[in-house]
Structure 1
Amino acid sequence: PNYNPADRVLFIIQQESQEVVRGIKDKWLESGSHQALLTRIERAHEWNVGGQGGESSSESSTSSGGEDDSCCKQDKGEDIILNKHPKGCCAELAALVMRDVRGNKRAWQLIVFQALIGNILVAIVYGILFYGKARKEDHVCHGDDYDPGSCQRYFLVHMAVLSILSINVMFATHAWTTEVVMSETAMFLRERAGGYYKVLPYILAKSLIEVPLVYLMCVSMLLGAYWFVGLRGNFFWLSLEMLVLACTSSSLMYCLCAMSPSRAQAASLAIIPQTLQFGVSGVLLPIREIPVFLQWIKYLCPLYYGLGLLGVSEFHYLFEERDACALETGALWNATCPGVQIRLTALEVMDIHQNHFLWPNLVMCLLLFLGLRLLAVLLLWRKSRYVL
């Protein structure tokens, strides 16, 4: 386990009913340890206020037991944290980031295997499976060898490769977020209850550490499939768009993890957004075939916007061919270039449009990222407020 025994006890208490938790709190308030702790806090405060220890401190020490007296004599005013000068958000953020950096250095072998080697191997398998599929449409969509059926079939395979890469990004980030957040839940609640830091710096630190690691995962996935499949989009832009999709998808998991008391429950809840994203993003069913009363879900779906971003970059050559045909033949370009028209129609079925790159695709991804992270902050704040 990734927590010490004290964290384990706290984690178990969280799963108990409100009556059990209330009973534990009442027993603590009635215990002698609680009273002794209050006495030590009062004496430390008197020591701090009275300088070198005043009359009130000595009088209270003579009236109490010898054991408490000997313990309290060892307490110096400067050693007691009274939170008079709490650290600012930037100081807390820097401390949390450095702690995560040290943790990643210790676990570098696991990170290298998961974020690089594992993803590259999976991507290579897909690359071999779809070897050269992104280029085969050229032979049957132009000139004398034009075949409408083959043109559409090869282009749909090309789109399927892009969808698979997007789905892999989503699954990888969901698993990574669940592992990172849920493994530190008990530690976060204990430290948050102790006032070591606020929730916002904690989420900001996780986000800052997440970006380079997730980008490594995206690059490794793309490396394994880009040249094997013959993708046509710019490698750098595709990797950045996959990063946007990954960070937006992980934001959704931050919220689910913040609502879940255990890793198992967080993993089970992850099935809900994954299933909904498959259904409304156009991967399993064309957007037009989705019932109207369910189509609104796509506007909250990171995979829907992520596919829109990747589709515009990957199929940029189609938009260029369309513009060239329109420049040559005018309004009759679709009759002159039927292969281009067939593939553009397939993109429209997937709701991928060239003029949708900035809005709504990119802007909505950024808004979902920001909104879901702020919601995760609120949920974690509420969760840490009622730890016990």
Structure 2
Amino acid sequence: MHDQDEKEIQALVTDLLDSLKLTPCKDTVVGNGVIKGISGGERKRTSVGMELISKPQMIFLDEPLSGLDSYAAVTTMKVLKELARSGVAVMVTVHQHSSEIFSMFDNTLVICSGMMVYQGPTTDLKDFFQDNASIKCPPDYNPADFVLSELQAAPLEDIQRLAHVYKKQAEVKIVPAIEKSRVQGNDAPSLKPKARPAAFTTQLRELFLRDARDTFRNKPVLIARYSVLIILNLLFGCVFFDAGSSQSEEYWLSNLGEFIPYYGGMVTVCIFAMMGSAQATILRFPEQRGIFLREYASNMYSTIPYMISKMMVEFPLSFVDSVVQIIITYCMMNFQGNIFYWFLTSWVLNISSVSLAQLVGAAVNSGAQAIQMMPLLFVPQMVFSGLFTSLSNIPVWLRWIQWLCALKYGVNLAYFNEFGFDYTQLSEINDAKSSLVGLDIGILLGLIIVLRTATNVVLKRKARYVF
């Protein structure tokens, strides 16, 4: 895609849809193994179109005809033939081919037992094997099928000899052509790039619109998300109903039986804020891995707008999660702190845990691996946040992990919001200091930035490793 205005971009998309015979299904969901969408042939041509949107000089397709019926296969090949005539170098691997499809290839490369035994014009294939391997193709017979069947039955020595013959002939033809291209140098017009990536704002806009459509049209997932959110927080509200109260520090210290459910309700709200969105987020990157790698390799966009677009969709949803959660629990548990600070604490804690989930999701290769990694996200958060044991009781060589746990800072913020900044004895129990509230907020924001940056780096490295 070029850095062009909106009309030129739309014209490019329209031309591609027309050339790929996809205009009738342009507004149809592609679909997958569960969701019914476009046909197999249309899906193959859609994949071709995604590669062509950046106007490459060459396109390589690995078995684009697999799984297609004869009509869909011929239609796809005709589209590729038109692309080749327009100046795009098209390379295709095929294992099953009719005579009609085989005749569409300008050049053919034959590989057997890992050795190249022929590369050249398709029309010369029969003569080459007849002259060098005494393989004579009968009249009105598909040359590709006949040659491959003969080669598969031939001894390895015959294939090695044929590969040696081809190599000698190729050296005579190819080496002079290579030398000629070296003399011409890199200033040849054909070697100059003709396209550059879209502008950052264009990438961001298109990625955001796609992510937003993908999120909001999946209504069953949204319904399940907010149903679980509401039901669980109503349940928490019932368990810790009216636990909060505006009392002095001395009262709470002398009535721990009343303090424990109050404090427990507060901690439960923080834990759910941490876990709620992270569980779904950790599966997002493995699910979209194939799409991202293909589009990134085609230079459609960079990782930065890809990450920012997801943040633009995710942050409002996380905020709604936090508002719904706090409204329910604040009223039912009778919290006494500033409700705005509760919104902020829940939201920042939600985003920080989602950032960690994104990092883990980007680092793994499948949803199964992501699920296995989920305990690594949540269990250390609770162990090293000072909820079950004083941080001073944790071995010194493990104590540093607390600084990476967002839950620790979220609980501290909620604690001071509820019990005030003067409850020094209670602060010591939780190993928190009122003077460090600003630092707690800063560390949470810093964790978000560091984790998002690390996710961006991981995505780049994973894409580079694959391609």
> Percent identity, aligned pairs only?
25
Residue 279 (structure 2) pairs with residue 199 (structure 1): no
Whether contact under 8 Å (2:211, 2:313) holds in the other structure is: yes
Q: Quote the residue 2:375 is aligned against.
A: 271
Q: 2:240 aligns with which of 110, 130, 135?
A: 130
Q: Quote the residue 1:355 is aligned against.
A: 435
Q: Quote the residue 2:212 is aligned against.
A: 101
Q: 2:312 aligns with which of 204, 208, 217?
A: 208
Aligned counterparts of 1:2 and 1:370: Cα–Cα separation in 2? 35
Q: Quote the residue 2:128 is aligned against.
A: none
Deviation at 1:174, TM superposition (A): 1.6
Q: Quote the residue 2:398 is aligned against.
A: 294
Q: 1:371 aligns with which of 450, 454, 467?
A: 450
Aligned counterparts of 1:175 and 1:41: Cα–Cα separation in 2? 46
Whether contact under 8 Å (1:255, 1:373) holds in the other structure is: yes
Whether contact under 8 Å (1:133, 1:230) holds in the other structure is: yes
Whether contact under 8 Å (2:413, 2:437) holds in the other structure is: yes
Deviation at 1:266, TM superposition (A): 0.9
SS at match of 1:131: coil
Residue 193 (structure 2) pairs with residue 85 (structure 1): no
> 1:34-49 alignment to 2 at 5 Å?
44=87
Aligned counterparts of 1:356 and 1:255: Cα–Cα separation in 2? 27
Aligned counterparts of 1:192 and 1:211: Cα–Cα separation in 2? 24
**Letter of the structure 2 residue corresponding to residue 305 of structure 1:** Y
Q: Quote the residue 1:190 is aligned against.
A: 294
Deviation at 1:43, TM superposition (A): 6.6
SS at match of 1:351: coil
Residue 190 (structure 2) pairs with residue 110 (structure 1): no
Residue 221 (structure 2) pairs with residue 178 (structure 1): no
Q: 2:322 aligns with which of 218, 226, 240?
A: 218
Residue 248 (structure 2) pairs with residue 248 (structure 1): no
**Greater CA radius of gyration, 1 or 2?**
2
Q: Quote the residue 1:382 is aligned against.
A: 461
Aligned counterparts of 1:377 and 1:41: Cα–Cα separation in 2? 36
SS at match of 1:270: helix
> When the two structures are superposed, what TM-score results if normalisation uses the length of structure 1?
0.70
Q: Quote the residue 1:79 is aligned against.
A: none
Deviation at 1:347, TM superposition (A): 2.3
Deviation at 1:273, TM superposition (A): 2.8
Cα gap change, 1:368/1:83 in structure 2, threshold over 3 Å: closer, same or farther? farther
Whether contact under 8 Å (2:197, 2:301) holds in the other structure is: no
> When the two structures are superposed, what TM-score results if normalisation uses the length of structure 2?
0.59
CA offsets per residue over residues 30-69 of structure 1, 9 Å max, x none?
xxxxxxx8997697169xxxxxxxxxxxxx99x9568xxx
Cα gap change, 1:191/1:117 in structure 2, threshold over 3 Å: closer, same or farther? same
Q: How many residues align?
A: 306
Aligned counterparts of 1:207 and 1:260: Cα–Cα separation in 2? 20
Where is the helix percentage greater, Structure 1 or Structure 2? 1
Deviation at 1:209, TM superposition (A): 0.7
CA offsets per residue over residues 63-109 of structure 1, 9 Å max, x none?
9568xxxxxxxxxxxxxxx7613202221111000111112231235
> 1:148-163 alignment to 2 at 5 Å?
148-150=253-255, 152-163=256-267
Whether contact under 8 Å (2:274, 2:349) holds in the other structure is: yes
Cα gap change, 1:147/1:42 in structure 2, threshold over 3 Å: closer, same or farther? closer
Aligned counterparts of 1:192 and 1:374: Cα–Cα separation in 2? 18
Q: Which runs of 5+ in 1 are unaligned?
A: 10-24, 29-36, 47-59, 67-81, 323-342
> 1:299-318 alignment to 2 at 5 Å?
299-316=403-420
Deviation at 1:112, TM superposition (A): 3.8
Cα gap change, 1:276/1:105 in structure 2, threshold over 3 Å: closer, same or farther? closer
